[in-house]
Structure 1
Amino acid sequence: MRYLFFILSFCSVFYATAQERIISTENQQWQVQPAEKVKFPKGVTVEKVKVNINQPLQEIHGFGGSFNALGYKALTILPEEEQQKVMADLFSDEGTAFNLCRMPLGANDFSERWYSFDEVNQDFDLKHFNIEEDKKNLIPYIKFAKKYAPELQVWASPWSPPMWMKHNRHYGGRATNMQWGPLYGDNMEEIFANNRFIMEDRYLTTYANYFSKFISSYQQEGIEIYSVQPQNEVQANQFFPSCVWTPQDLHRFTEEYLIPTLSEDHPEVSVLYGTLNMDSVEYVDVLMKNSKAQGIGVQWDGIESIEYIKNNYPNIEIMQTESECNNGLNNWFTAEHTFDLLYTSFKQGANSYMYWNMILDDLGLSTWMWRQNSMISIDRYTQAVTYNPEYYVMKHFSNLIQKGAHMLSVDSNKDLKVLAFQNTDGSIAIIGGNTTDEDQYFKLDMDGKTEKVILPSHSILSIPFSQKINH
C-alpha cells in the first residue's frame, strides 16, 4: 500500500507525529519501523531541517522506467504466477506504483535486434510502415503493466530514424565500440556539429508522419501514447542505434514538422525536446527560442542543466528521462548514486523521474553487449528473482509521492540531503539519504512541530506524515 494516513479530529491544521519510518541500508532494504522516541548521543552535531509547508515548488508528474524488449524476454522466463508478482511489485500501489513510463520508438540497445517501422528505401508515403516487431515484446509488456496501473502514461522517443533517412545509411553513428571510430570521419567536433539526419523537406515531412503513424498504430492496439521526444540522446554517436542532431536542425524538425503534424493528427499528444544527454545551456537556448514544445527531457548526463532550464523557462515541463545505467553490478554503491541523481533532479526542478531497465536477466547485457543495472534481475536457469537495491531506492520516492504532489521548500545544511513532498490529500513524505561514513542528526521542524531524526550512514530514510485537521 502507499503509506498514506487519514486521521480526522476537531480546529487548526497540524501534522501528526510520523507513525513509522522506512529505512534502507546495504544489508536490509525497505525496513518499516515504528517511529519510536529518538535520543541523540551526547556530543553529536545536531542540524536543523525546516519544511516550509506554505512554500510549494514544482508539481510532481510521476515515476517510472523504460519498457524494453529484453526486459519482457527476461520476465517471461518466469512461471505466470511469478510474472504477476513482479509486475505488481512494479505497478501496483503496494510496489513502486509507477505511473509514467518510457518506450523506444523503434529499436534501441535493449531490443532483440535492429529494426525500424519502415526500412524500405525512400518509402516517403510510408506504405510499408508496420509495428509487427513491437507485437512480440513491447506491446505485451505495456499491456501487462496496465493491468496493475490502468492510468499508466507511456511516452516514446526514437534511438534512430530508419537507416535510409540518415546520411550514413546506418542505425548507429560509428561502426564499432573500439575508441570512437565513426562510420565516416574521425573528428569528433565535426561529427557533433553535423546531423546524421538528411535535412531535406521530403525526409522531414516523412519522419513527422512516421511519428504520427506510430501513435495511430498503438492506439489501434489499445495503447495511448501521451507524449513524444524527437531523439534519444541528441549528442550520442554510438555503435548501437543513435542519431546526432544539431540544436538548430532539431529545432527546425520539431517546430516546423513534428509539432504541426501531431497538432493536426494527434492534438492530445505533447511534444518535449529531448532527450538531452549533455549540460549545454547553449543547446537548450536554441531549442527553446520561439518554441511550441511543452517541455524538455533531460537524462542523467545532462542533469546539471535542469536548474538552468527551471530558472530560464519556468513554465515548461522538465522530465528526468533516464537514470544512469551503471555496470550491471547492482550493488549498494550504485543505489546511493541513483539516490543522488533523484535528489539532484528534484532539487533543481524536475517534475518526474525515469529509471532505465526495470527488469533484466542475470547477465544484464544489451544486444550490443553492454552490461547494465536493473531494478529486478531474473536468473535464466534457476528462475530466481532478485530485487536489487535500486528497486528500493525508487520505492522510497514513488511509493510515497503521488501524481500531482508538490515538492516543498526545505531549509537545511547543504550537507544534508533531505526533500519533502506534499500529496494532494495533504499527507507529506520526507525523504533523506546519507551517503557519508558518519551518522547524521537533525531536528525536523514542520509547521512548528519538531521531531528528532537520525539518518544512519549509507542509508535512505522515508518518513510519511498524515495530516490532522481540527475545526
Structure 2
Amino acid sequence: MPEIIIYLSKGESELFVEQSLQQLTPVTTDTVIAAVTIDVNRTYQEMDGFGASFTDSAAYLINQVLDSEQKAELMSKLFDPQAGIGLSVVRNPMGASDYARDIYSYDDLPEQETDTELTRFTIAHDEVDIIPLLQQALKLNPELKLMASPWSAPGWMKTSGSMIAGELKKEYFQVYADYFVRYIQAFAKSGLPTYAVTPQNEPLFEPHHYPSMLMLAEAQSDFIKNYLKPNFIKHNIDTKILCYDHNWDRPDYPLTVLEHAEEEVDGIAWHWYGGDASAQSVVKQAFADKEVHFTEGSGGEWIPPFEQAFSNVIRTGIEILRNHSKSFVLWNMALDEHNGPTVPGFGKSTCRGIVQINQQTKELTYTLDYYALAHFSKFIRPGALRVDSTSSNEFIRSVAFRNTDHTIALVLFNDGEEAENIAVNLQEAELVTFRIESKSAVSIMITV
C-alpha cells in the first residue's frame, strides 16, 4: 500500500491541516464517486516553483518592523521545505514598484543630467532590506530561483523624464541593456544569481501614480534582439529572458515579440488581471519550445474573502499549471494593515500580501494566500514534472506532478456547490476514496 499524506483546507477555520485517512469522511459503496485518475506516463512541463515578491514595502516590513524572532519564524515558514512551505521563486522589482516607500531606480540623477556610462549605478537601496532577506531565503532553500522585472527605467532614459509613465528613448536602448547587466552582476557579487529577467513589468499599462513605462511589442522585440541578448552574450550571462510580463488578454503581444526575436527569448511571463490562463497554451502551441511562467497575481479586496478569494487562488493556480506554467508567483510577500506601504500619491491600496504585518501592533498574520500557495508549494517541488490528471466530474479540478524523488503530488479543488465523493486512481489502481466538501482544497502526497 502506498504511503499517503493529505492536507485539507475546508473554510477559514481549517486551513492546510494534515489529515489521516481515518479522519477523512469515508465513502460508502452505494454512492456516486468522481474518479480522478493520474497517468504518470503522460508528462508536460518541469516545475521551477512557487513564490511571491520582496517588493521594497514587503522587505521593509519583514526586515525592520518584525522582531528577530518573528522574522526567523516567518522566513522559515515561507522558504524552508521541511519546516515551512518551501517557496522556491522570488520575483524582484528592479527599483521602485507601486509597493515602495519612495520612487527610486539604481541610477537616479538630477534633472537634465545623464549617465550613459552608468558611473553612478548602485544597488545600495536593496542592500538594506531586500538583499539580506534574499540571502536568508536562499540559505533556507538552496533551490530558490530569483527573477527580476523593472517597473521603469531611470527617468533620464525616458520620454517623460521621470519614472512615471513615458517610453524608453531609442538612444538609451544600449545603456538600458548595460543597466540590466550591472544589476545581474551586482546581485551575483552578493551571492544571488538572477535566473530570469523581463524587460518591463506590464508594458501595456502606463499609470501616472506609480513607476511605469510603456513598451510596445515592436520596441520590446528590438530591445531584446539587438541590445539585451547580445549584451548578455558579451558578458557571459546565462540569465533567461522572458518577454511580455502582462495579462492573458493580449497574447498578440508575446506572439509579436517571438515572431521577431524567437531565438533571443526563452519564454513568456503572464499576469492574471485580464483574460484567462488558456492564453498561455495558445502561445505555447505557436512556439512549443518556449517556457511559460506566471509571474504576478495579487489577491485583493475586489474579490470578497474568505471563500471566494481562497477559491480564486486555488482554482486559478490549478489552471495556470495545467496551461504549462513552470512557475506560480503571487505579488507582495507582505503588506501592512493598510495594504501598504505604497509610493507617495498612490491612493488607497486594495491588494493583499502573503502575510500581513501590522505596523502599529507588530502582529504577524498569515493570509489566505499563504495557505493557498502551501497547497501547491509544499508538495510540488522544484524539478517536478507535471503528469496527466483527469476527473470524471467537471467540478473537481486537479493538477498532478511527479517529483524528482518519484513521489506524486496531487492538488484537488471541489469547485461545485455540493460535496462530492472522490476516488483517486494511479493508472488503474484505486489509492484512496473520500468525501470533499464544496469549495474545499486537498493536497495529496503519494509515495509509491
Deviations 1:402-458 (A, max 9, x none): 111111111223322111111111111111112333112222221222131322112
SS in 2 for 1:85: helix
- Tell me which moved more, 349-358 or 162-171: 162-171
Matches of 2:445 and 2:269 in 1, distance apart?
A: 29
The answer on whether the counterparts of 2:7 and 2:16 sit within 8 Å (CA) in structure 1 is: no
Matches of 2:5 and 2:246 in 1, distance apart?
A: 41
> What is the CA distance between 1:89 and its match in structure 2?
0.3
The answer on whether the counterparts of 1:429 and 1:463 sit within 8 Å (CA) in structure 2 is: yes
Structure 2 equivalent of residue 31 of structure 1: 17
Structure 2 equivalent of residue 355 of structure 1: 330
1:59 to 46, 56, 81: 46
Off by >6 Å, runs of 4+ in structure 1: none
Q: Which amino acid counterpart does residue 231 of structure 1 have in structure 2?
A: Q
Matches of 1:154 and 1:293 in 2, distance apart?
A: 18
Matches of 2:404 and 2:396 in 1, distance apart?
A: 26
Structure 2 equivalent of residue 10 of structure 1: none
Q: Superposed, which structure 2 residues align to 1:267-278 within 5 Å?
A: 267-278=237-248
Are 1:49 and 2:30 matched, yes or no? Answer: no
SS in 2 for 1:452: strand
Deviations 1:302-325 (A, max 9, x none): 534211122222211111001234
Residues paired across the two proteins, number: 430
Alpha-carbon spacing, 1:312–1:216, altered in 2? closer, same or farther (3 Å): same
1:408 to 370, 387, 391: 387
The answer on whether the counterparts of 1:236 and 1:277 sit within 8 Å (CA) in structure 2 is: no
Deviations 1:170-212 (A, max 9, x none): 2222xxxxxxxxxxxxxxxxxxxxx7222x2x31111100111
Alpha-carbon spacing, 1:278–1:234, altered in 2? closer, same or farther (3 Å): farther
Structure 2 equivalent of residue 187 of structure 1: none
1:372 to 345, 348, 351: 351
Q: Which amino acid counterpart does residue 333 of structure 1 have in structure 2?
A: Q
The answer on whether the counterparts of 2:8 and 2:14 sit within 8 Å (CA) in structure 1 is: no
Matches of 2:337 and 2:415 in 1, distance apart?
A: 27
Q: Identity of aligned pairs, percent?
A: 26
The answer on whether the counterparts of 1:428 and 1:465 sit within 8 Å (CA) in structure 2 is: yes
Alpha-carbon spacing, 1:415–1:437, altered in 2? closer, same or farther (3 Å): closer
> What is the CA distance between 1:42 and its match in structure 2?
8.2
Q: Which amino acid counterpart does residue 272 of structure 1 have in structure 2?
A: L
Deviations 1:99-130 (A, max 9, x none): 11110111111121101111333221112211
1:133 to 94, 104, 125: 125
Are 1:343 and 2:343 matched, yes or no? Answer: no
Q: Superposed, which structure 2 residues align to 1:429-444 within 5 Å?
A: 429-444=409-424
Matches of 2:27 and 2:142 in 1, distance apart?
A: 45
Aligned CA-pair RMSD: 2.0
Query: So what's the TM-score if we normalise by structure 2?
Result: 0.91
Q: Which amino acid counterpart does residue 288 of structure 2 have in structure 1?
A: P
Matches of 2:39 and 2:258 in 1, distance apart?
A: 32
2:167 to 196, 208, 223: 196
Deviations 1:9-41 (A, max 9, x none): xxxxxx615254433422211111111275336
Structure 1 equivalent of residue 178 of structure 2: 209
Structure 2 equivalent of residue 393 of structure 1: 372
Deviations 1:282-336 (A, max 9, x none): 2122111142211111111353421112222221111100123423976342121
Matches of 1:21 and 1:137 in 2, distance apart?
A: 33
> What is the CA distance between 1:59 and its match in structure 2?
1.1
Segments of structure 2 that go 5 or more residues without pairing to the other structure are none
The answer on whether the counterparts of 1:229 and 1:272 sit within 8 Å (CA) in structure 2 is: yes
Matches of 2:123 and 2:291 in 1, distance apart?
A: 29
> What is the CA distance between 1:84 and its match in structure 2?
0.2
Segments of structure 1 that go 5 or more residues without pairing to the other structure are 1-14, 174-194
Structure 1 equivalent of residue 102 of structure 2: 113
Matches of 1:135 and 1:204 in 2, distance apart?
A: 27
> What is the CA distance between 1:51 and its match in structure 2?
1.0
Structure 1 equivalent of residue 194 of structure 2: 225
Structure 2 equivalent of residue 85 of structure 1: 73
The answer on whether the counterparts of 2:243 and 2:254 sit within 8 Å (CA) in structure 1 is: no
Structure 2 equivalent of residue 234 of structure 1: 203
Matches of 1:266 and 1:321 in 2, distance apart?
A: 25
Matches of 1:59 and 1:206 in 2, distance apart?
A: 35
Matches of 2:54 and 2:186 in 1, distance apart?
A: 17
Matches of 1:430 and 1:315 in 2, distance apart?
A: 26
SS in 1 for 2:65: coil
Matches of 2:387 and 2:419 in 1, distance apart?
A: 24
The answer on whether the counterparts of 2:76 and 2:84 sit within 8 Å (CA) in structure 1 is: yes
